[in-house]
Structure 1
Amino acid sequence: MKTAPAPTTPVRVVLVDDHKMFRTGVRAELTEVAPGLLDIVGEAADVDTAIKVIRAELPDVVLLDVHLPGGNGRGGVDVLQGCVAVDSRRGVPVRFLALSVSDAAEDVLAVIRAGSRGYVTKSITGTDLAAAIKRVADGDAVFSPRLAGFVLDAFGVAAGEIAEVDEELDRLSQREREVMRLIARGYQYKEVARELFISVKTVETHVSSVLRKLQLSSRHELTAWAMGRKLI
Structure 2
Amino acid sequence: MKNTEKTGILYGIGVGPGDPELVTLKAVRIVGECDTVILPAKSKEDCIAYGIMKEACGKIAEKELICMPFPMTKDESRLTAAHEQIYLGIKKLLDNGRQVAFLTIGDPTVYSTYQYIHKRVVKGGYEAHIVNGVPSFCAAAGALGISLADNKEEIHVIPASYEIGKTAEFSGTRIYMKSGKKLGELKQMLQKQQKDSRLEVYSVENCGMMNEKITTEVEKLDDTSGYLTIVIVKEH
Give me the TM-score of the superposition, normalised by structure 1. 0.27
Q: Which has the larger helix fraction?
A: 1
Give me the TM-score of the superposition, normalised by structure 2. 0.27
Q: Which has the larger strand fraction?
A: 2
Per chain length, whose mean CA-contact separation is higher, i.e. which structure has more relative contact order (CA < 8 Å, sep 6+)? 2
